[in-house]
């Protein structure tokens, strides 16, 4: 039989204990103190003021930021009576009764979570959030968090005031612009009328040189009148005084008229004007004058920026979510537009070439007005272009103005398809 094992010596038995139970307890306490210190440091590093209270409203824990935000002195912080602390806080707010009532309301509903705003008498504003304080699954109180949002509120208020001031100034500008444009247009129409009469008279008298000079005067007057009309249209749109006169008209007639008006602009240029459209493009229920204005603006721009090649006017029916739409596209082989320039195309007074030596005239209002007119009728204008390769402007309009998406909704080129 083997030998009986000898009992362990006292030293061997005590080795794992490294000093016995007292030493182990001391190490555990040291470890606990270290973690509590780390937790306290983390708690105090939070930028929000945080406090935790039991179900009776007695504050159990708070961080340093909470004391700083509420200017709580050590005496108040260490007061045994929690009502003293609540009263101290309530005295600092603009509405102390509402402050207390909200706290009572949340304590009456332990499961409730809430976020509101507390305004202090010194002008500061705190965002207050509260939620149940849970230990495991049991609710033992509430946690309150306070964030100082004073600067954000001031910035938002300043931004809102600046926006209101800018909108008021814009309305005033539009009103003045409309009045001035009207006052300018009336005498200018008279000048154009009288110059035409004088031109006819000098032609009858056999004075061709004088007639040519008068034609230049009339040309300059027409250009000035077009500028005034653009300014007047823009001011009416911005002031909300532009009205729609809806009617049903055939698209074929509109396309023929637009082509006939554009051809003289291409005289002396090696540019071919083509039209692609179904034999019967159907009818459009919209504001005829405004659709004509938009189409002629796009065609005149194409003629202005295309020295050779082709300008194509296309008309195509489209469907989108069961609604009938019409796409009117003007393509050219002109100078094209860079992506950076495209971002500013529809901004009033913005031009592709804004230099004082630019070869092409214009005020930069045509496209801005055209887009806003289309949007008034429920549509929009989209551009595709590449420098040196030409441009393509597409007008999308609902077949019946008023059946389009409501104002403010987003309209994109996606979602459209050919019928059939």
Q: For the chain, which domains are there?
A: 39-148 (3.30.450.20), 154-238 (1.10.287.130), 246-354+361-398 (3.30.565.10)
Q: Which residues, listed in sequence order, are joined to residue 212 by a DSSP beta bridge?
A: none
Question: Which DSSP helix (H) or strand (E) runs through 170?
Answer: helix 150-204
Helix extents (H) in 51-143: 64-69, 74-77, 82-90, 96-108
| Rounded CA separation 222/361 (Å) | 14
Map residue 319 onto helix, strand or coil: strand
Walk along the chain (420 residues) and give the pLDDT tens digit of each residue: 444 444 444 444 444 555 678 888 888 888 877 877 777 787 777 889 998 888 888 888 888 899 899 998 877 777 767 777 788 889 999 999 999 899 899 999 989 999 999 999 999 999 999 999 998 889 999 999 999 999 999 999 999 999 999 888 877 877 777 777 777 778 888 888 888 888 888 888 888 888 888 888 877 787 787 777 777 777 777 777 788 889 999 999 999 999 998 988 898 899 999 999 998 999 999 999 899 999 999 999 999 999 999 999 999 999 888 889 999 999 999 999 988 888 888 887 666 554 433 455 556 788 988 999 999 999 999 999 999 889 999 999 999 986 544 444 445 555 555 554
Residue 14 φ/ψ, nearest 5 degrees: -85, -15
Query: Would you say the pTM of this structure is higher than 0.85?
Result: no
Pairing of strands 270-276, 308-320: parallel
């Amino acid at each position: 039989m083997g030998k009986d094992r000898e009992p362990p010596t006292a030293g061997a038995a005590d080795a794992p204990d490294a000093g016995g139970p007292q030493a182990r307890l001391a190490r555990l306490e040291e470890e606990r103190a270290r973690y509590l210190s780390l937790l306290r440091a983390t708690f105090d590093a939070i930028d929000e003021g945080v406090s935790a209270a039991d179900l009776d409203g007695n504050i159990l824990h708070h961080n340093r930021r909470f004391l700083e935000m509420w200017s709580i002195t050590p005496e108040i912080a260490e007061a045994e009576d929690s009502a003293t602390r609540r009263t101290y806080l309530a005295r600092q707010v603009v509405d102390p009764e509402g402050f207390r009532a909200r706290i009572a309301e949340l304590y009456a509903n332990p499961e409730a979570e809430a976020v509101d705003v507390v305004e202090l008498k010194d002008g500061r504003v705190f965002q207050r959030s509260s939620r149940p304080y849970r230990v495991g699954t049991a609710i033992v109180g509430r946690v309150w968090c306070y964030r100082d949002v004073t600067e954000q509120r001031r910035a938002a208020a300043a931004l809102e005031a600046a926006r209101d001031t800018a909108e008021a100034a814009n309305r005033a500008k539009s009103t003045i612009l409309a009045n001035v444009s009207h006052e300018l247009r009336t005498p200018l129409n008279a000048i154009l009328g009288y110059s035409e009469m004088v031109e006819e008279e000098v032609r009858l008298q056999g004075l061709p040189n004088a007639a040519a000079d008068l034609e230049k005067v009339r040309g300059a007057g027409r250009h000035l009148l077009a500028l005034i009309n653009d300014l007047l249209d823009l001011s009416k749109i911005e002031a909300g005084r532009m009205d729609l006169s809806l009617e049903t008209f055939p698209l074929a007639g509109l396309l023929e008229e637009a082509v006939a008006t554009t051809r003289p602009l291409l005289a002396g240029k090696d540019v071919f004007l083509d039209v692609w459209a179904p034999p019967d493009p159907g009818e459009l229920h919209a504001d005829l004058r405004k659709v004509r204005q938009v189409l002629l603006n796009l065609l005149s721009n194409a003629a202005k920026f295309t020295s050779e090649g082709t300008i194509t006017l296309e008309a195509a029916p489209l469907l989108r979510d069961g609604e009938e739409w019409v796409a009117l596209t003007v393509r050219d082989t002109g100078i094209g537009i860079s992506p950076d320039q495209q971002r500013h195309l529809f901004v009033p007074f913005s031009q592709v070439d804004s230099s004082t030596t630019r070869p092409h005239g214009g005020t930069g209002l045509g496209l801005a007005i055209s887009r806003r007119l289309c949007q008034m009728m429920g549509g929009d204008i989209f551009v595709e272009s590449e420098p040196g390769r030409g441009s393509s402007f597409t007008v999308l309009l609902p077949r019946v103005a008023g059946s389009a998406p409501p104002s403010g909704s987003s309209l994109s080129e996606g979602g459209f398809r050919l019928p059939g």
